[in-house]
Amino acid sequence: MNPNQKVRKRSLRSRLLLTILLCWIVPIVMIVTLAGVLLRFSYERDVELRLESEAVYTLRQMEDQLGEAFTDSKAVSYDGVVRAAFRAFQQDGDKAALYRSVNDYLAQSFGREERYKAVFISFWNELGIYPYVMSSGIRGYSLPRNYHRSTEPQILAAMADADTAIRLLTWDGDLYIARNLVDSSFVPYATVVQLVDGEEITAPLRVLPAGTTLQLDGLVLEAAGIRSLGEGESIRAEHHYEGELPDHSLSMDMRLEPLNLLREMPWLYQAILAVLLLVLPLLALMILLFRYHVTKPVDVLVDATGRLQNGERGYQIEEKPRSREFERIFRHFNSMSQELKNQFERSYEEQQALQQAKVKALQSQINPHFLNNTLEVINWEARMAGDDRVSAMIEALSVMLNAALGRDGRSQILLKEELSYVDAYLYIIRERLGEGLRIEREIDETMLEERVPRLILQPLVENAVEHDLTARRGGLLSLRARREDGFVVLECEHDGTLSQEDLQQVEAMLSSAETDTEISGRVGLRNVRQRLALLYGEAGSLSIRQSAPERILARVRFPAAG
């Protein structure tokens, strides 16, 4: 074969289709799925029938247990022992004899009953005696003490209108069966209270699926505990059974858990393992081919896009994929990356040229009003007489012209050079205003070598002089320079007051997005704001505010160099 001849590459789609057909994925999945559905349906039906039988049997167990508990409660009245003891107490007033008789009766009748944690007799007339018996598995005095302190008053209050009916009550997850004991006149004199052992009475529910609940007179009995049915709460499930308990409502609801065939039928593991052993070699082959022809080229493409995102414009993919689709994608990516690099370089060069042009245009703007005033003063001095002051003023004017024209092309200079421009300007202004102009300086000596934009401080001083100090024929002007959190801060504070109109002009000047917007009388400040935006973007700022009564503060802030 000619090495220069272009090899025709097969489609990735055809490779994957051929691999999938060879692996017989579709037939195997269909067979396994159909077998699973049929097996699950059959097993679920068997499980449902078995659970229904267990549910009916469990409900009958609960009916028997609760019926026996109700019978025990009624037996206290029918036996007549407690009533006889109470009648004897009414005649002789012997509380000790009453306590012994009732306590002995409770011990004989309920001492061996495992379905109760304790049984209490609560007298209505607060006799000061509290007969009770606890199950053999319960020790200590905390249970009867807590009952008589907190639970007994609530039970007696709930039984005030119960007559001889049995009521089921629950507090703190415990179930109480209560029934009033009445004398021959059917007047209640005591209440027999059976504290049911929740684990014992709900034990039959544990053979049923989790979440099975028993509802008894508005109470919910679950394997996890006993609680009251909330207002508006309904727990009726798809499997609902009604119980038969005279004078009481009893029902059970059972929810079936999702079926797990592997857990219920361990032999399925062997069947699945056999299928995997047959399919695994073909599956491994498919995964290998997929990784080689799809995953690897995608990883290469993702890495290339990441490099492009991180700034490697023009990055080229050198990998040679084995499919037509990825070969085309790689070729398009390389072309796009190179074009993006070319466009970025062109855009960067255009932006650089535009920024330099704007900076030079801003530097070339000179306040004609200031030059006219200066020339007028020099002319007046020249007419009066020859003097060294004229020479000094001309020298100061020369410094100002050099600063404004910026023939060396530097957009940034040292702070000490910027201060020399300010000194030249202030010398000329002092000749005009006389000793009424006072200057204060707070300049950090370490700041003199800091690089700052050319003519960034002089326009602030000029604005203070032209708009406030000239009208006042002088005043105090303070100059400050310092570093603050990696920024250079230059301040010019002077005597003066900002009117409402001044504030509006300043706000319009500072917020204006157009670089050629004219703000009457504020050309110098507008130039400062524009230059800060060009050189530093949002990191550079200019603010003007009334710092104190009769004091105006202009502040420039921009990042320190290096």
State yes or no: pLDDT of 516 exceeds 50. no
pTM (2 d.p.): 0.43
CATH number for 152? 3.30.450.20
Whether 263 is covered by a domain: the verdict is no
- 342 CB-near residues (< 8 Å, 6+ apart): none
Question: 121 lies in which domain range?
Answer: 50-254
Q: What per-residue confidence (pLDDT) applies to 520? A: 41
Q: What per-residue confidence (pLDDT) applies to 521? A: 45
293 and 248 share one domain: no
The CA angle 64-180-229, to the nearest 5 degrees, is 60
State yes or no: pLDDT of 351 exceeds 70. no
Whether 514 is covered by a domain: the verdict is yes
Q: If you average pLDDT over residues 517-534, what whole number do you get?
A: 70
State yes or no: pLDDT of 279 exceeds 60. yes
463 and 533 share one domain: yes
State yes or no: pLDDT of 517 exceeds 50. no
Whether 172 is covered by a domain: the verdict is yes
Total domains in the chain come to 3
Q: If you average pLDDT over residues 331-344, what whole number do you get?
A: 82
338 and 368 share one domain: no
325 and 394 share one domain: no
Residue type, 344: F
Q: If you average pLDDT over residues 368-387, what whole number do you get?
A: 58
The CA angle 36-42-46, to the nearest 5 degrees, is 135
Comparison of pLDDT for 388 and 461, the residue scoring more: 461
Tokens found for residue 388:
């060294």
Q: What per-residue confidence (pLDDT) applies to 21? A: 62
Q: What per-residue confidence (pLDDT) applies to 503? A: 84
Report phi then psi at 117, rounded to 5. Answer: -75, -35
pLDDT band at 518; cut points 50, 70, 90: very low
Q: What per-residue confidence (pLDDT) applies to 10? A: 63
The answer to whether the CB of 490 falls within 8 A of the CB of 454 is no
How far separated are the first and last CA of the chain, in Å rounded?
Answer: 63
Alpha carbon distance 152, 454 (integer Å): 92
Q: If you average pLDDT over residues 354-380, what whole number do you get?
A: 55
248 and 302 share one domain: no
Last residue of a domain, one of 358, 387, 404: 358
Q: Is 365 helix (H, G, I), strand (E, B) or coil?
A: coil
Whether 26 is covered by a domain: the verdict is no
420 and 507 share one domain: yes
Q: If you average pLDDT over residues 326-342, what whole number do you get?
A: 83
Comparison of pLDDT for 398 and 318, the residue scoring more: 318
Whether 13 is covered by a domain: the verdict is no
Last residue of a domain, one of 358, 381, 401: 358
The dihedral formed by the CA atoms of 413, 415, 420 and 422, expressed in degrees to the nearest 10: 100
Residue type, 440: E
Within 13 Å, how many C-alpha atoms sit on residue 404's CB side? 19
345 and 368 share one domain: no
Within 13 Å, how many C-alpha atoms sit on residue 22's CB side? 15
Helix (H) or strand (E) segment spanning residue 495:
strand 487-495
397 and 499 share one domain: yes
Whether 282 is covered by a domain: the verdict is no
What is the DSSP track for 409-450? --SEEEHHHHHHHHHHHHHHHHHHHGGGEEEEEEE-GGGTT-
514 and 401 share one domain: yes
Q: What per-residue confidence (pLDDT) applies to 477? A: 92
State yes or no: pLDDT of 245 exceeds 90. no
Q: What per-residue confidence (pLDDT) applies to 80? A: 87
State yes or no: pLDDT of 553 exceeds 90. yes
Evaluated on CA atoms 421, 426, 429, 431, the torsion sign reads negative
Report phi then psi at 151, rounded to 5. Answer: -80, -40
Strands 219-222 and 412-414: unpaired
Q: Is 403 helix (H, G, I), strand (E, B) or coil?
A: helix
The DSSP secondary-structure symbol of 248 reads B
Q: What is the mean pLDDT of the chain?
A: 79
Q: Is 165 helix (H, G, I), strand (E, B) or coil?
A: coil
The DSSP secondary-structure symbol of 561 reads P
Taking alpha carbons only, the member of 557, 510, 507 closest to residue 529 is: 510
> Could you report the per-residue pLDDT of 280-298, keeping only the tens digit for each?
777 677 767 777 777 778 7
Task: Give every strand in the sheet of 167-171, ordered side by side.
Answer: 132-134, 116-123, 188-196, 174-182, 167-171
Q: Which of 173-187, 228-242, 251-265, 477-491 has the highest mean predicted lDDT (pLDDT)?
A: 477-491
CATH number for 420? 3.30.565.10
Residue 180: is it exposed, middle or buried by C-beta count within 10 angstroms (0-12/13-18/19+)?
buried
State yes or no: pLDDT of 216 exceeds 90. no
The answer to whether the CB of 135 falls within 8 A of the CB of 197 is yes
Tokens found for residue 81:
């022992």
Comparison of pLDDT for 92 and 525, the residue scoring more: 92
Q: What per-residue confidence (pLDDT) applies to 5? A: 53
402 and 381 share one domain: yes
The answer to whether the CB of 471 falls within 8 A of the CB of 464 is no
Whether 134 is covered by a domain: the verdict is yes
Share of the chain above pLDDT 70, in %: 75
Alpha carbon distance 19, 285 (integer Å): 8
Tokens found for residue 553:
């503060």
Last residue of a domain, one of 318, 338, 358: 358
194 and 300 share one domain: no
Alpha carbon distance 452, 482 (integer Å): 12
pLDDT band at 366; cut points 50, 70, 90: very low
> Could you report the per-residue pLDDT of 126-168, keeping only the tens digit for each?
888 888 888 876 777 788 888 888 888 999 888 889 888 898 8
245 and 337 share one domain: no
Whether 271 is covered by a domain: the verdict is no
For the chain, the helix, strand and coil percentages under 3-state DSSP, each to the nearest 5:
55, 20, 25
Tokens found for residue 391:
């020479």
Alpha carbon distance 166, 160 (integer Å): 12
Q: What per-residue confidence (pLDDT) applies to 557? A: 94
> Could you report the per-residue pLDDT of 45-80, keeping only the tens digit for each?
777 788 788 888 888 888 888 888 889 888 898 888
